Amino acid sequence: MAPLDQKVHTIANYDNFNVSPHLVDEYVEMVKYTAEFYESVTRYTPSTVLRMKLGDELEKRGVATHIYESREEARKALAGDAVG
């Protein structure tokens, strides 16, 4: 995304997402790196367990996030960020 020379608004779909426990640190580092290219980002998954687990892991590593239950909720949140 660096060639775009502008930041973008992003919705990350975590539906059916899985990461091996031994790769969580590396995954979060990748999330932090890609955040440089985002104007704003929202995340969603219908899985309550994944929202809790992933949210906890991201928060523990300094990535402030709220993971929404649906794409529509994430889209509404992103639109609110984009406007405000």
Cα–chain center distance at 70: 13
pLDDT in tens, 70-79: 999 999 998 8
Per domain, the residue ranges of the chain are 2-83
Neighbouring-strand partners of residue 67: 43
Supply the pLDDT for residue 81. Answer: 65
> What's the pTM value of the predicted model, to 2 decimals?
0.80
Beta strands in the chain (DSSP E): 8-13, 38-44, 67-68
Biggest CA–CA distance in the chain, Å, is 38
pLDDT in tens, 39-78: 888 999 999 999 998 888 888 888 877 899 999 999 999 8
